[in-house]
């Protein structure tokens, strides 16, 4: 029996097309309208979203994006494209000459465009790799939903293989540990390591989302790999939005407390496969300023894995497991 031609679809969250209020408004409208992200009744949420948030938030968020925008555009998109090219090259080197395309759950390139690009290359089976190590309904679940919506409009579509998570992958933990060791060697070692993940509402976790436990497992595995004592690190959660309680401890509150106790803190954000607004602006600027304002001396951010060779090798390993299954 002939083996189906396979292809890879890398998927990340998304980004505005430009650092402007209009582009940010379009992006936020799509992102915040997803029931996976905000699960409130549409009768309650839509008036808040369209009447308040989309009329007030885009200008401020656009300014934040403008502060990190590069000549190549959005860091999240530019680095994701680098990952796409590097993964395809790595797989080809390993003997797998298969196409790799990129898609975003929200914004461009769209899920539909990514699927079309693979189909145009004759792909009959797609391995979908969401770039979220820790599963959450708000991220990986949203990828699955978006893909299903695209497929629902088609008479025929390729076979789909879905990589759900890799939060305890040995090669993932090793790549994180390598990035920390290299940072310490270059910048020196801080008094403590803050392992900060994007947060979700506590209610989501109470309703069964395994994300907090996945994050804690990743943080613990990283600390063990680095041979850190419990007093030398903590797992925290950032980027909360709205008034309801989110999973704790909060990153900003932790930094405020630590500023009274230590001089220097290192921060790594393992949930982000590429550097983006939440790392380059929220951690490296906002939270750094907060830490210093409250009495600390230096917050040193350890970059995301981005297109590091060991990160690309980890992706290739995940893909090879599916190609050979």
CATH number, domain containing residue 207: 3.40.50.1400
Q: How far apart are CA 15 and CA 26, in angstroms?
A: 10
Give the distance between the most distant pair of CA atoms in the chain.
67
Q: List the one residue out of 145, 149, 144 whose CA is nearest residue 161.
A: 144
Structure confidence at residue 234 as a pLDDT band (50, 70, 90): very high
- How much is the pLDDT for 60? 95
Q: b/e for 86-117, b at 16 or more Cβ within 10 A?
A: bbbebbeeeebebbbbbbbbbbebbbbebbbb
Domain span holding position 275: 170-302
Annotated binding site: 198, 278
What integer is the mean pLDDT of 308-321? 97
- How much is the pLDDT for 178? 98
Residue 76 lies in a domain: no
Structure confidence at residue 325 as a pLDDT band (50, 70, 90): low
Annotated binding site for Fe(2+): 198, 278
Pairing of strands 100-104, 159-162: unpaired
- For 120-169, what is each residue's pLDDT tens digit? 999 999 999 999 999 999 999 999 999 999 999 999 999 999 999 999 99
Residue 4 lies in a domain: no
Residue 181 lies in a domain: yes
HSE on the CB side for 116, CA within 13 Å?
7
Residue 34 lies in a domain: no
Extract the runs of DSSP E, i.e. beta strands, from 113-261: 125-130, 159-162, 192-198, 233-238
Residue 49 lies in a domain: no
Residue 197 lies in a domain: yes
Pairing of strands 100-104, 6-12: parallel
Q: Could you tell me what percent of the chain has a pLDDT over 70? A: 99
What total number of domains does the chain contain?
Answer: 1
Q: How far apart are CA 65 and CA 17, in angstroms?
A: 11
Angle formed at CA 124 by CA 121 and CA 126, multiple of 5 degrees: 90
Q: b/e for 180-199, b at 16 or more Cβ within 10 A?
A: beebbeeeeebebbbbbbbb
- For 106-115, what is each residue's pLDDT tens digit? 999 999 999 9
Contact between residue 195 and residue 236 where contact means Cβ atoms under 8 Å apart: yes
Q: How far apart are CA 141 and CA 145, in angstroms?
A: 6
């Amino acid at each position: 029996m002939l083996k189906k031609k396979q292809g890879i679809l890398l998927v990340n969250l998304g980004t505005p097309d430009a650092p402007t209020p209009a582009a940010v408004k379009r992006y936020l409208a799509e992102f915040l309208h997803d029931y996976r992200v905000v699960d409130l009744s549409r009768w309650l949420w839509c008036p808040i979203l369209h009447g308040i948030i989309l009329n007030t938030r885009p200008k401020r968020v656009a300014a934040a994006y403008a502060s990190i925008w590069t000549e190549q555009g959005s860091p999240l998109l530019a680095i994701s494209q680098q990952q796409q090219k590097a993964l395809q090259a790595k797989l080809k080197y390993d003997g797998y000459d298969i196409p790799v395309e990129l898609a975003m759950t929200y914004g461009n390139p769209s899920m539909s465009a990514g699927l079309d690009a693979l189909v145009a290359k004759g792909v009959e089976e797609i391995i979908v790799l969401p770039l979220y190590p820790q599963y959450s309904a708000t991220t990986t679940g949203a990828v699955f939903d978006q893909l299903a919506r695209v497929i629902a409009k088609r008479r025929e579509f390729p076979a789909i293989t879905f990589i759900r998570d890799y939060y305890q992958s040995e090669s993932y933990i090793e790549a994180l540990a390598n990035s920390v060791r290299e940072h310490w060697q270059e910048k020196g070692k801080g008094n403590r390591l803050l392992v900060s993940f994007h947060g979700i509402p506590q209610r989501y976790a109470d309703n069964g989302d395994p994300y907090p436990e996945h994050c804690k497992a990743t943080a613990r595995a990283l600390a063990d790999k680095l041979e850190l004592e419990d007093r030398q690190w903590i797992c925290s959660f950032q980027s909360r939005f709205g008034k309801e309680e989110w999973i704790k401890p909060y990153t900003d509150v932790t930094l405020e407390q630590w500023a009274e106790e230590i001089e220097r803190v290192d921060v790594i954000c393992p949930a982000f496969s590429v550097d983006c607004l939440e790392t380059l602006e929220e951690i490296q600027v906002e939270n750094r300023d907060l830490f210093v304002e409250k009495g600390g001396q230096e917050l040193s951010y350890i970059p995301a894995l981005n297109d590091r060779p060991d990160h690309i090798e980890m992706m290739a390993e995940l893909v090879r497991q599916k190609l050979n299954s």
